[in-house]
């Protein structure tokens, strides 16, 4: 089970006229005054000319919400700092018409957004600071706050080398995107068991196809990487062909999590050559009755998990958002319907580490057993035993359970 990822880049010869220096449009590079309008003017002018490079020379910049468009590259000089204002007036409610004709309404305009475009790049050794500390104090959970990078219905996306810091809410949030490469980015938010950095998922991938994540380094207040899938207009939109590799996760609810939104289905996902250091759980697949969907053909291999605060590897179709719910045993059989989740054909190979709770924890539903799960050379040290309930054909280091 290996995900094959293809990314088609649109190549063109860059001339001086294709480079749009934001300071030439009035942006202040000292960070002393907002330059939202200047940045957006540069983006709009590049888009009017069928695309180009929107360039940030060395310096510091202060901005509100900006919108990216097709064939735009945000290119940051080395060590640029782009700070976002924390005034809610900069991020008013937003209504967008999506490609299928439906409208979506967001309570806040994202800090950086793109809807229904193609060929977008954000690159450079730059710090993008969302000033989330003010938002977390002002609007603690369950409040919704602005997303940092919200990119929906985009084809051909590249995020490279940037650091995203202190997002008000989700850091990188992708939905219905195809042909995505995310390489060498860093995400930094406080762990929410130390300081309040709530709902700051690192990278969310929802109903996307052909995604390659490599060399990322994430420490955050929710899942480091989360994969989901949805139903739209009664059509399942799956997440398929995802490769996550060569990455390091620190604080977070899960190193790599699948679900709990599984309605559209997820398949052909590979996670390899990663280190999880201090996350709550290492690898977590979660769903529940009412979510539905099929999760299958998932491969995890060559992973080290150190100082995990809860279970090492967890798979559950009884997830309700709480640890108490995850460990509930009072489940009775119900008829299978389109809202029943199914999980099968998962492979774990060459995984080592330690966890505070169960090294392997798998709980299915009476009507939907979790089945065909293989563990080969998996060694996770723990005071607790392996726990299995409502499972079929679980093979752990050669032994069938």
Report the C-alpha gap between 38 and 26 in whole angstroms: 5
Report the C-alpha gap between 224 and 251 in whole angstroms: 8
Report the C-alpha gap between 10 and 120 in whole angstroms: 10
Q: How does strand 94-97 pair with strand 103-106?
A: antiparallel
What single-letter DSSP state applies at residue 233?
Answer: T
Contact by Cβ (8 Å): 181, 151: no
Coil/strand/helix, residue 331: coil
Report the C-alpha gap between 125 and 1 in whole angstroms: 34
Report the C-alpha gap between 341 and 111 in whole angstroms: 34
What single-letter DSSP state applies at residue 188?
Answer: E
- What DSSP assignment string belongs to 250-302? -SSSEEEEEEEEETT-EEEEEEEEEEEES-SEEEEEE--TTT--EEEEEEEEE
Distances (CA, A) of 395 to 82, 333, 347, 362, 384: 50, 25, 10, 12, 19
Residue from 212, 253, 301, 332 carrying the catalytic annotation = 253
Report the C-alpha gap between 53 and 116 in whole angstroms: 19
Examine the residue annotation and report whether 253 is marked as an active-site residue of this protein: yes
Strands (E), 85-176: 94-97, 103-106, 112-115, 118-123, 127-129, 149-152, 155-160, 163-165, 172-175
Phi-psi region for residue 119, left (φ > 0), alpha (ψ -120 to 50) or beta?
left
Which residues participate in catalysis according to the annotation?
253
């Amino acid at each position: 089970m290996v995900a094959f990822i293809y990314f088609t880049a649109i190549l063109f010869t860059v001339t001086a006229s294709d480079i749009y220096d934001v300071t030439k449009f009035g942006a202040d590079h000292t960070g002393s005054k907002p330059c939202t309008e200047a940045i957006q003017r540069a983006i709009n002018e590049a888009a009017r000319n069928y695309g180009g490079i929107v360039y940030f020379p060395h310096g510091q910049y202060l901005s509100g919400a900006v919108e990216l468009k097709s064939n735009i590259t945000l290119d940051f000089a080395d060590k640029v700092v782009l700070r976002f204002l924390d005034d809610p007036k900069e991020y008013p409610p937003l209504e967008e018409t999506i490609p299928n004709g439906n409208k979506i309404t967001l309570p806040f305009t994202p800090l950086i957004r793109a809807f229904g475009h193609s060929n977008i790049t954000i690159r450079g050794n730059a710090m993008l600071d969302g000033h989330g500390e003010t938002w977390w104090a002002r609007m603690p959970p369950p409040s919704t706050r602005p997303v940092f990078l919200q990119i929906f219905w985009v084809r051909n996306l590249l995020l490279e080398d940037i650091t995203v810091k202190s997002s008000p809410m989700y850091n990188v949030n992708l939905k219905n995107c195809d042909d995505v490469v995310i390489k060498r980015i860093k995400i930094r938010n406080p762990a929410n068991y130390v300081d309040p950095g709530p709902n700051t998922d690192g990278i969310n991938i929802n109903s996307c196809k052909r995604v390659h994540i490599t060399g990322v380094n994430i420490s955050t207040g929710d899942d480091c990487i989360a994969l989901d899938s949805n139903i739209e207009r009664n059509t399942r939109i799956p997440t398929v062909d995802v490769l996550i590799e060569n990455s390091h996760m620190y604080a977070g609810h899960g190193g790599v999590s699948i679900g709990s939104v599984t309605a559209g289905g997820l398949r052909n996902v590979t996670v390899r050559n990663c280190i999880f250091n201090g996350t709550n759980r290492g690898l977590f697949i979660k769903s529940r009755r009412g979510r539905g969907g099929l999760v299958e053909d998932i491969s995890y291999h060559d992973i080290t998990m150190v100082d995990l605060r809860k279970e090492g590897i967890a798979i559950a179709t009884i997830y309700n958002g709480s640890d108490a719910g995850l460990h509930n045993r009072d489940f009775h059989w119900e008829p299978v319907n389109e809202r029943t989740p199914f999980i099968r054909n998962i492979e774990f190979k060459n995984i080592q580490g330690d966890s505070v709770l169960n090294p392997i924890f798998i709980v299915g539903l009476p009507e939907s057993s979790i089945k065909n799960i293989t563990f080969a050379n998996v060694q996770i040290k723990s005071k607790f035993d392996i726990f299995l309930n409502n499972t079929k054909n679980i093979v752990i280091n050669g032994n069938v359970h």
